[in-house]
C-alpha cells in the first residue's frame, strides 16, 4: 500500500457552487498540461442562429445577471438543444439558447460562454496544476443545487431533481451516520446553513454533526480534525454592526474572488500544519454547473441509486428522469502531499465518489459498506496518492481579491434581491424554525424577506436558536466568521 494511504486519517471535502469545468478551468489546457479543456473554438448557436464561441474574458462579478438556468428542465435544454431526450442525440449545444430564454436578449445570452483565463483564478488554477485535476468529474444529477448536494451527503436525492427546501427530509442515512456507527468522526462545517440540516437523523444530533467554519480552522490548528469533514461556503452576505461577512460560494451572483479566498483558507489550514497536511486528502468540488457552458457530454448508463424516478407534478416543467446518467461536468481538484504535481485523472467520477472513497479508506471494512447503488458503483480516487514520501515544499498561493469592484461591494450585496437558491434557503430555515417551541421562534415572517442581507440575518437568527435548543451544552457555535 502506498505510504499516503497508510498515513491517511482525514478526508476534507469543500463543495462550492454552480460553475462548470470549462468555465473555471477549461482554458488551463495547453501543450504541457493536456487536460480535457478548451481549444478555443467550441461554440453554441444563439437564438438567431449565430455561432457563439467560448472566450476567456469572464469577470469575477456581474457577467451572469440574471442567473443562468440550472433546473432539470434547463439542463435538458442545454444538453439536448431543446430536442427530446428520446429522439435527439446528447450534444451540449443548447446553453446559449437556454440562457436567451431567461435573459430575453440574444446579445446577453452570449455571456454563458464566457470562461476564465489561465491567470484570473490564481488559487484554484495553482492547486489544480500543483496537485491533481479530475477532468471527468460530473455532478450527480442534471439539475440544481439541492439534489446534487443531497447526493454528496447521501448518494441519493430520493427521486427528486427540484429545489424544494423540504423535499429531502426523507433522506434516512448519510455518510456521516455510516461513519459514526463505526466510531469514526464526521462533521459538516457551515458558515450560515446547510441542506443537511433537514435530514432528520442529522438534525437530532446537531451538536455532533455540525460545526462552524471557524471550528474547522481551529481543528486544523490544534490537531483535532474529524476523520471526515464536509465544508459548506457562505451563501449570503451578512452585515453585523458594520462588519461584513461576504458570501463565499461563488454562485454567479457573488464575487468569484471571495470564493478563491475561501479555497485559500481551507488549503492553508490543512497545508501549514505538517501533522494535518501529511494525513489529509483535500477534495475541492462544485455541486453543479450553474447553467454555464461545458463541452464534455455527461456519462449515461450509471446506477440509479434506489430505483426511484422523478415524475414531477402537473405544474412542474421538469421532464421525467430515472437517474441513470450524470449531470454536467464540474471542477474537481485533489490535494495531498502524496500527489505528484501536474497529475491529471481522466476517470469518470460523480459526487458519490467522495462517499465511496471515504467508506473505503476510513471504514476499512471488507466488504465495503455503501449507502445506495450509486456509491456502490462509483469510482474511487485514492490511486492518485502515488508518492512514497510526502512533499514538503511550501506551496505559495497567489494573493486574491485583487479586483476592487464597486458592484461587488458587500454594502450593495446585502441589498441585492434574492436568487431562487436564496429564496429556498429562507424557506428551508422557516421549516427548521418550526421544529422549535413557539416561545423560542423568531418573530420574523419569512415571506417578508426580500434582500440578501435580510435573508442572512434571518438564517443566522434561526441557526442560533436551533443551536441553543440542541440537547448538549457543547453544541458547536454558529456565530459568523468573516472571510479574512
| Measured CA distances, 439 to 25, 293, 458, 472 (Å) | 50, 48, 16, 20
Residue 30 has pLDDT above 80, yes or no: yes
| Measured CA distances, 32 to 28, 344, 346 (Å) | 10, 11, 16
Give the CATH number of the domain where residue 244 resides.
3.40.720.10
The answer to whether residues 359 and 175 touch, using CB atoms and an 8 Å cutoff, is yes
The answer to whether residue 184 is domain-embedded is yes
The answer to whether residue 13 is domain-embedded is yes
The span from the CA of 220 to the CA of 453, in Å, is: 30
Going by their DSSP bridges, the two strands 238-240 and 228-232 should be labelled as unpaired
The span from the CA of 145 to the CA of 290, in Å, is: 8
What residues make up the domain containing 336?
3-384
Say which residues have a Cβ less than 8 Å from residue 445's Cβ, sequence separation at least 6.
none
pTM for the full predicted model:
0.95
In three-state form (DSSP H/G/I as H, E/B as E, the rest C), the secondary structure along 208-275 is HHEECHHHHHHHHHCCCCCCEEEEECCCCCEEECCEEECCCCCCCCCCHHHHHHHHHHHHHHHHCCHH
The span from the CA of 44 to the CA of 410, in Å, is: 34
| Confidence category of residue 358, pLDDT binned at 50, 70, 90 | very high
The answer to whether residue 320 is domain-embedded is yes
Q: What is the mean pLDDT of residues 12-29?
A: 98
The span from the CA of 352 to the CA of 304, in Å, is: 12
Number of folded domains in the chain? 1
Q: What is the mean pLDDT of residues 366-389?
A: 94
pLDDT at 86: 67
How is 7-54 classified by DSSP, letter by letter?
Answer: H--EEEEEEE-S--HHHHHGGG-BTTB--S---S--EEE-TTS-EEE-
The answer to whether residue 434 is domain-embedded is no
| Confidence category of residue 473, pLDDT binned at 50, 70, 90 | very low
Q: What is the mean pLDDT of residues 28-40?
A: 96
The answer to whether residues 352 and 155 touch, using CB atoms and an 8 Å cutoff, is yes
pLDDT at 318: 87
pLDDT tens-digit map of 226-278: 999 999 999 999 999 888 999 999 999 999 999 999 999 999 999 999 999 99
pLDDT at 401: 53
Say which residues have a Cβ less than 8 Å from residue 373's Cβ, sequence separation at least 6.
303, 304, 305, 306
The answer to whether residues 86 and 144 touch, using CB atoms and an 8 Å cutoff, is no
Residue 402 has pLDDT above 60, yes or no: no
pLDDT at 281: 98
pLDDT at 366: 83
Question: Which residues are paired to 138 by β-bridges?
Answer: 329
The answer to whether residues 328 and 298 touch, using CB atoms and an 8 Å cutoff, is yes
Question: Which residues are paired to 218 by β-bridges?
Answer: none
3-state secondary structure of 117: coil
* pLDDT over 70 percentage in the chain: 94
Q: Which position has the higher pLDDT, 406 or 30?
A: 30
Q: What is the mean pLDDT of residues 444-453?
A: 96
Q: Which position has the higher pLDDT, 85 or 21?
A: 21
Q: What is the mean pLDDT of residues 351-375?
A: 94
The answer to whether residues 359 and 328 touch, using CB atoms and an 8 Å cutoff, is no
Mean of the per-residue pLDDT values of the chain: 92
pLDDT tens-digit map of 155-209: 999 999 999 999 999 999 999 999 999 999 999 999 999 999 999 999 988 888 9
The span from the CA of 284 to the CA of 263, in Å, is: 8
Taking residue 36's Cβ as centre, other Cβ atoms within 10 Å add up to 17
Q: Which three cell numbers stand for residue 420?
A: 431562487
Q: What is the largest CA-CA distance in the chain?
A: 64
User: Among the listed ranges 393-402, 434-443, 446-455, which one has the minimum average pLDDT value?
Assistant: 393-402
Taking residue 222's Cβ as centre, other Cβ atoms within 10 Å add up to 10
How is 348-416 classified by DSSP, letter by letter?
Answer: -B-THHHHHHHIIIII--SSPP-SSHHHHH----GGG---SS-------PPP------GGG-HHHHTTS
The span from the CA of 233 to the CA of 481, in Å, is: 11
Specify burial of residue 274 (Cβ count, 10 A radius: 0-12, 13-18, 19+). Answer: exposed
Say which residues have a Cβ less than 8 Å from residue 171's Cβ, sequence separation at least 6.
150, 153, 154, 156, 158, 199
The span from the CA of 342 to the CA of 16, in Å, is: 22
The answer to whether residue 458 is domain-embedded is no
Identify the helix (H) or strand (E) that includes residue 187. Answer: strand 186-190
pLDDT tens-digit map of 55-108: 999 999 989 999 999 999 999 999 999 877 767 789 999 999 999 999 999 999
Amino acid at each position: 500500500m502506498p505510504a499516503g494511504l497508510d498515513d491517511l486519517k482525514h478526508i476534507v471535502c469543500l463543495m462550492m457552487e454552480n460553475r462548470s469545468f470549462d468555465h473555471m478551468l477549461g482554458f488551463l489546457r495547453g501543450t504541457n498540461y493536456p487536460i480535457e479543456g478548451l481549444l478555443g473554438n467550441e461554440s453554441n448557436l444563439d437564438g438567431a442562429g449565430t455561432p457563439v464561441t467560448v472566450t476567456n474574458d469572464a469577470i469575477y462579478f456581474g457577467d451572469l445577471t440574471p442567473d443562468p438556468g440550472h433546473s432539470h428542465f434547463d439542463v435538458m435544454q442545454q444538453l439536448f438543444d431543446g430536442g427530446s431526450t428520446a429522439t435527439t442525440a446528447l450534444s451540449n449545444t443548447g446553453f446559449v439558447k437556454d440562457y436567451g430564454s431567461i435573459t430575453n436578449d440574444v446579445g446577453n445570452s452570449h455571456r454563458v460562454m464566457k470562461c476564465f483565463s489561465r491567470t484570473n483564478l490564481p488559487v484554484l488554477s495553482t492547486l489544480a496544476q500543483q496537485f491533481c485535476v479530475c477532468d471527468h468529474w460530473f455532478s450527480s444529477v442534471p439539475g440544481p443545487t439541492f439534489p446534487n448536494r443531497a447526493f454528496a451527503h447521501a448518494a441519493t436525492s430520493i427521486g427528486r431533481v427540484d429545489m424544494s427546501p423540504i423535499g429531502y427530509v426523507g433522506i434516512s442515512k448519510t455518510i456521516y451516520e455510516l461513519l459514526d456507527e463505526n466510531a469514526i468522526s464526521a462533521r459538516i462545517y457551515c458558515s450560515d446553513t446547510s441542506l443537511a440540516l433537514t435530514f432528520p437523523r442529522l438534525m437530532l444530533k446537531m451538536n455532533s454533526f455540525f460545526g462552524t467554519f471557524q471550528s474547522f480552522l481551529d481543528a486544523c490548528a490544534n490537531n483535532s480534525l474529524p476523520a471526515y469533514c464536509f465544508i459548506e461556503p457562505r451563501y449570503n452576505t451578512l452585515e453585523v454592526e458594520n462588519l461584513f461577512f461576504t458570501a463565499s460560494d461563488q454562485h454567479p451572483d457573488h464575487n468569484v474572488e471571495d470564493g478563491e479566498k475561501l479555497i485559500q483558507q481551507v488549503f492553508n489550514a490543512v497545508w501549514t500544519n505538517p501533522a494535518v497536511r501529511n494525513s489529509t486528502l483535500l477534495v475541492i468540488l462544485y455541486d453543479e454547473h450553474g447553467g454555464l457552458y461545458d463541452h464534455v457530454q455527461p456519462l449515461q448508463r450509471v446506477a440509479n441509486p434506489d430505483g426511484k424516478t422523478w415524475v414531477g407534478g402537473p405544474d412542474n416543467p421538469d421532464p421525467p428522469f430515472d437517474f441513470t446518467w450524470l449531470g454536467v461536468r464540474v471542477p474537481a481538484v485533489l490535494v495531498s502531499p502524496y500527489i505528484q504535481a501536474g497529475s491529471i485523472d481522466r476517470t469518470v467520477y460523480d459526487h458519490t465518489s467522495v462517499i465511496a472513497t471515504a467508506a473505503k479508506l476510513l471504514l476499512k471494512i471488507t466488504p465495503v459498506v455503501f449507502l445506495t447503488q450509486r456509491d456502490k458503483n462509483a469510482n474511487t480516487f485514492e490511486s492518485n496518492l502515488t508518492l512514497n514520501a510526502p512533499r514538503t515544499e511550501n506551496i505559495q498561493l497567489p494573493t486574491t481579491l485583487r479586483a476592487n469592484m464597486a458592484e461587488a461591494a458587500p454594502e450593495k450585496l446585502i441589498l441585492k434581491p434574492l436568487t431562487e437558491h436564496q429564496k429556498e434557503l429562507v424557506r428551508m430555515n422557516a421549516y427548521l424554525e418550526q421544529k422549535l417551541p413557539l416561545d423560542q421562534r423568531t418573530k420574523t415572517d419569512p415571506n417578508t424577506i426580500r434582500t440578501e442581507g435580510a435573508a442572512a440575518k434571518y438564517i443566522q437568527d434561526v441557526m442560533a436558536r436551533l443551536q441553543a435548543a440542541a440537547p448538549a451544552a457543547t453544541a458547536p457555535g454558529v456565530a459568523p466568521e468573516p472571510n479574512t
